[in-house]
Structure 1
Amino acid sequence: LEPPENGNRLVTVRKAKDNTYVIVAGKLPVPYDSYTLVYLYDTTEGISSWNHLKDMLFLVGFVLSVLLALGLLLVLNRIFQPLTQISQTSRDIANGEYETRLPVSGQDELSEMAQSFNHMAEEIQRQMTELKDAADKKQQFVDNFAHELRTPLTAIYGYAEYMQKAVLSEDDRLSALNYIMSESRRLQTIASQLLTMASLQNNPIDWEEQKVASLFEAVNQTLYGRLAGKEIQIEFNIEVETIWGDAALLESLLINLIDNGIKACEKGGHIIVSAVTEEGRKVITVKDNGKGMTPEILTQITEPFYRGEKSRSRSDGGAGLGLAICKQIVLSHHAEMSFNSRPGEGTTAKITFTTS
């Protein structure tokens, strides 16, 4: 190891077997410039410690990286889990599971978003339920309408064919003609009632102030003939002088309700028609002591073509549209109609007017 002549030192690393040495050589200054100083340092232990430290640092760094990755994964999962739930819930709702809701916990922005999503889901469920109910009612209406038409049309066709092919006496011919006329009148009644319902749904009514006494008197005169021989008493109680609405429609409403009471009552029956004020609103009630109805019937009596006692309604010539028309009349007056009834105790129909 000869150091350079310019006085610089020479540094080198040498390996000997398993050891590593650092060698520093340099010439001494004058007057000892004929001498060279050589320093040898064994760095084997230091290099070994450094390698060990590097391994430890790598291991610690790896462990910390894994922990940080796991922590970041948990944080991201915490952040994105609600979004994943929203996505899954949206797919469930799209597949028809309208009752599915998001879990709500905490008061942060994600919880507010979950609450808003649930409100939206509830509104969707409500609207879908309404659409389904409307579709079911429409289908039921079509089925019932077809059934109501089939019965008289079958009878008319049958009697017409009978008259065409059979040799009939004058009495039999007149009997068949009378039956054809009767069933034709039933079809005419159904058509007229359906047109009335359509008109009530699409056209506004004529609002006028009506005197309740005059309204009740007109209804009483109309029903007088139907009470002949039935031994049924009708009582009118008036505590309200006037009411707003269409006179003809209000008469039709009361006549239909009272007529139902007449049909439900036996001889000696009693019907009370009252016009009163309840909680600041005008109310008309029609109460009878007739047969009454079950809760199952009450929930359906205002549906078109529904009849609680089908045999009795058919014998009376009804098609099950009377209370459906009553419902439309009440709705057109922005009023509310409810029924309270028990089998054997009679029925009370209540119309509550929201306008004075």
Structure 2
Amino acid sequence: MKFRTKVVVCMISILSIIFGAGSSALILNSFNSALDREKKSAIQSYEMILNTLKVVNGVEAWADSKDISNTIKEMSTQRNTSWAGIHIYTEKNELYKDGKMKDKSGSLLESTKSKKNVDEKSCITKVIAGNDKEKYLKVSGALKVGKEKCYLDVAYDISPIYEERDKLQQIYYEVFAIMIALCGILSYSNSFIMTRPLVRLSRTSKAIAAGNISYRSRIKTKDEIGTMAREFDKMADKLENNIIELKDTMESQNQFIGNFTHELKTPMTSIIGYADLLRSQALTMDEQVEAANYIFSEGKRLERLSLKLLDIFVTENSEVKLVLVSPGKIVEQLVENLKADYLKRNIALKYNYEKGVCLLEPDLVRSLIINLMDNSRKAMTDNGHGIISVEVKMTDNGCSIIVKDNGKGMPPEALQHITEAFYRVDKSRSRKQGGAGLGLALCAKIVEVHNGDIKFESKENEGTTVTVELKGGRA
């Protein structure tokens, strides 16, 4: 059963119980009040008949029952009476009987069957049915006539109050039917308005379950349903963002695997080819040395590629412990160790640093600086002298490392992609220089470990400046 139907059934049930019980009690109370009034009026009329008989005869008791019957006859013929029937009788004889009611069987004024509770000082009342729908109130009493006890039954027509009750009940049935119909219409309309947001929310959940993750309920009511709908939309937004991020991650992984496979294919093909050449053909000493050198260089390239991938994996999947070190000393040691090697390539290394210590992971920071310097080296032109400078500044929550070169720079569109794995500005040149496009991706991971950020400023044919903010903190 739908919720709307449940609301309608519930409202109709409540209305039926309350309206039915209230109306029935009202009709019953009105009927009983009218019946009580009729009983009081009938008893008063009955007593008036007895008093009239006494006044007419002028005595406290009657000597002859015939006098009573004659008096009743005169009362019946000379004046309009309020009774519908009257019956006077003894235990042996019937003295007088008269009736204006429709009762051919005579059962209305039949003798009282039980006379134990009937005496001269009290009377009893009883509601009896006549023909069709007539109802009568019979008042029975007794009086002393000489030494003989007579019984007097007087019937009063009370059909009007039963007819009034039937009319009230008929009105009640009609009003009840109208009330039920109105209640059903109004409650269904109200439940339709109330549950319409729930229907929209259900439609939204079905749409999202079917794959339309951008579908929203857009319910703006200010009740509990509106609150639930807004929370549902927020949940759907987060779900959509998570799915989009998951898709982006999958695409990045697929691209990473494809690029990695491509990077492995070239050196492996060369290694296998030269190894097969050494194995299957007789070569001169120079050719053997050349082949061996090529195999060695490609093997070292694979080694560097594997180590960088391992470093990236470690920075993503392990907890890094930061210790107090001097970033300036790290830069000084690296530059002094690499200075001679860079001079062979006509590249001068310079450094400058502020004294101080901060929380860093030394090995990762060394890898960060080496990769930045190596990236600057690859950006140098073939002609002219290159200069790479490394500067360290202490900050409130760590340090800042600035690597600057006067190389060929990068186009603006390349700046937003250079930290992506396997991305290379000049693919052909980087491949010749042994690059795999992983250096800056590793740098970005190392900076992330230190809660920092990395910024690139570059102009073509002027050079590049890389600013790294490491925010591991200072003790």
Sort the TM-score into its range (normalised by shorter chain).
Answer: 0.7 to 0.9
Shift of 1:11: 8.9
TM-score normalised by L of structure 2? 0.58
Matches for 1:23-34 after TM superposition, within 5 Å: none
- Conserved 8 A contact 1:304-1:320: yes
Unaligned runs of 5+ in 1: 13-23, 25-49
Measured in 1, the distance between the counterparts of 2:316 and 2:360 equals: 15
User: What secondary structure does 2:469 align onto?
Assistant: strand
Selected match of 1:9 from 92, 101, 119: 101
Measured in 2, the distance between the counterparts of 1:193 and 1:334 equals: 20
The Cα RMSD (Å) is 3.2
Say yes or no: does 1:198 pair with 2:290.
Answer: no
Change (3 A) 1:222 1:305: farther
Unaligned runs of 5+ in 2: 1-83, 86-96, 105-133, 135-166
Structure 1 match to 2:454: 337
Structure 1 match to 2:368: 253
Q: CA offsets per residue over residues 27-73 of structure 1, 9 Å max, x none? A: xxxxxxxxxxxxxxxxxxxxxxx9xxx9xx89xx77x8777655444
Say yes or no: does 1:353 pair with 2:470.
Answer: yes
Q: Select the structure of larger CA radius of gyration.
A: 2
Selected match of 1:301 from 404, 409, 418: 418
Structure 2 match to 1:325: 442
Structure 1, 146-155 or 159-168: larger mean CA deviation:
159-168
Change (3 A) 1:92 1:350: farther
Shift of 1:180: 1.6
Structure 2 match to 1:42: none
User: What secondary structure does 2:455 align onto?
Assistant: strand
Measured in 1, the distance between the counterparts of 2:200 and 2:411 equals: 46
- Conserved 8 A contact 2:339-2:348: no
Structure 1 match to 2:288: 173
- Conserved 8 A contact 2:358-2:398: no
Measured in 1, the distance between the counterparts of 2:348 and 2:427 equals: 25
Change (3 A) 1:68 1:242: same
Measured in 1, the distance between the counterparts of 2:318 and 2:180 equals: 75
Shift of 1:120: 0.8
Structure 2 match to 1:265: 380
Measured in 2, the distance between the counterparts of 1:272 and 1:177 equals: 36
Shift of 1:121: 0.9
- Conserved 8 A contact 1:238-1:274: yes
- Conserved 8 A contact 1:281-1:353: yes
Q: CA offsets per residue over residues 120-171 of structure 1, 9 Å max, x none? A: 1111112212222222222222111211111111111222223334343222
TM-score normalised by L of structure 1? 0.75
Change (3 A) 1:234 1:71: farther
- Size of the alignment, in residue pairs? 313
User: What secondary structure does 1:10 align onto?
Assistant: coil
Selected match of 1:91 from 203, 206, 213: 206
Amino acid paired to 1:145: F
Shift of 1:248: 2.6
Percentage of matched positions with identical amino acids = 35
Shift of 1:257: 0.7
- Conserved 8 A contact 1:292-1:347: yes
Amino acid paired to 1:75: N
Selected match of 1:161 from 276, 280, 297: 276
Measured in 1, the distance between the counterparts of 2:211 and 2:355 equals: 51
Measured in 2, the distance between the counterparts of 1:272 and 1:74 equals: 78
Change (3 A) 1:181 1:236: closer
- Conserved 8 A contact 2:390-2:402: yes
Q: CA offsets per residue over residues 258-293 of structure 1, 9 Å max, x none? A: 221222133344444332356866322223343332
Structure 1, 253-262 or 190-199: larger mean CA deviation:
190-199
Measured in 1, the distance between the counterparts of 2:317 and 2:426 equals: 31
Change (3 A) 1:74 1:277: farther
Structure 1 match to 2:392: 275
Structure 1 match to 2:251: 136
Change (3 A) 1:116 1:263: same
Structure 2 match to 1:43: none
- Conserved 8 A contact 2:325-2:357: yes
- Conserved 8 A contact 1:212-1:243: yes
- Conserved 8 A contact 1:337-1:352: yes
- Conserved 8 A contact 2:454-2:469: yes
